[in-house]
């Protein structure tokens, strides 16, 4: 099955009104691509970015969401609010949320449910630490994180979701899984999903994330089970990010 590639830029806690105008301006000069291009700014800039990309084909993502729908949750943002600002995708379960803010598999699954309930697309981040990889637990970790979501929303919901495999040891470290290592895990993730539904496993887009660079992305995108990339630091450089998008096709 031919799956459209997605190249998403997670800006994390970076940016200013001025720098975002420059960055988006650079991205909008990009020649046409068959890949879907996504940007994920911090919450304060969602409206600004939504206005800047309006009509361009670039999609908007949020970096997080509350699992609560509304109420007395100071500092939180709901899925319905994100929908008001043109958000299509929501990053969920990013390793930084799991490790720095103690988000458990159950919390991530509840956020997935909330996002799906408002017609937004969860981008479910999964991945192992270096210690887990060295002890041979990569697939155990990925399967556990996926199964927690299946238990809450069901396997069919994955047709409305995207998965991002991000080995924790490769995020912000300069290290990156080789194209072959990424393919091995992506193939295993798809095989795990196939145990519940073969058709869903073939439809779901699985992205790779973890120090993705233009210089390494061409080999990565040639892998049959790698359907794009979730890009961190390189997405803050328009020229570098465009090169990654072009490598995806």
Catalytic residues: 94, 166
Backbone conformation region of residue 2, classed left if phi is above 0, alpha if psi is from -120 to 50, else beta: beta
Which residues have CB under 8 Å from 202's CB, separation 6+? 1, 190, 194
Q: Is 239 exposed, middle or buried (0-12, 13-18, 19+ CB in 10 A)?
A: exposed
- Tell me how long the chain is: 249
Spatial contact of 126 and 143, defined as CB atoms under 8 Å apart: no
Cα(195)–Cα(133) distance, integer angstroms? 23
Neighbours of 109 (CB within 10 A): 24
Provide the token pair at 158.
């994955």
Which residues have CB under 8 Å from 134's CB, separation 6+? none
Cα(46)–Cα(144) distance, integer angstroms? 32
Provide the token pair at 175.
């290290």
Q: How far apart are the first and last CA of the chain?
A: 16
Spatial contact of 234 and 248, defined as CB atoms under 8 Å apart: no
């Amino acid at each position: 099955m031919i799956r459209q590639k997605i190249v998403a830029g997670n800006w994390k806690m970076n940016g200013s009104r001025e720098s975002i105008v420059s960055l988006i301006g650079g991205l909008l000069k990009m020649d046409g691509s068959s890949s879907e291009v996504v940007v994920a700014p911090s919450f304060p800039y969602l409206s600004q970015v939504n206005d800047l990309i309006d009509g361009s084909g670039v999609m908007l993502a949020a970096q997080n969401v509350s699992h609560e729908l509304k109420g007395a949750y100071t500092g939180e943002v709901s899925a319905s609010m994100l929908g008001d600002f043109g958000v299509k995708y929501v990053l969920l379960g990013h390793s930084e949320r799991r490790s720095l803010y103690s988000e458990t598999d159950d919390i991530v699954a509840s956020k997935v449910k909330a996002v799906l309930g408002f017609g937004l697309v969860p981008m479910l981040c999964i991945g192992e630490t270096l210690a887990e990889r060295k002890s041979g637990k990569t697939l155990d970790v990925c399967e556990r994180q996926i199964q927690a979501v299946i238990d809450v929303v069901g396997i069919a919901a994955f047709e409305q979701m995207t998965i991002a495999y991000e080995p924790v040891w490769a995020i912000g470290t300069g290290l990156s899984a080789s194209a072959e290592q990424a393919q091995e895990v992506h193939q295993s993730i798809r095989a795990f999903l196939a145990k519940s539904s073969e058709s869903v496993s073939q439809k779901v887009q699985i992205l790779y994330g973890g120090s993705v660079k233009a210089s390494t992305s061409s080999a990565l995108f040639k892998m049959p089970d790698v359907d794009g990339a979730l890009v961190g630091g390189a997405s803050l450089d328009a020229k570098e990010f465009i090169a990654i998008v072009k490598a995806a096709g």
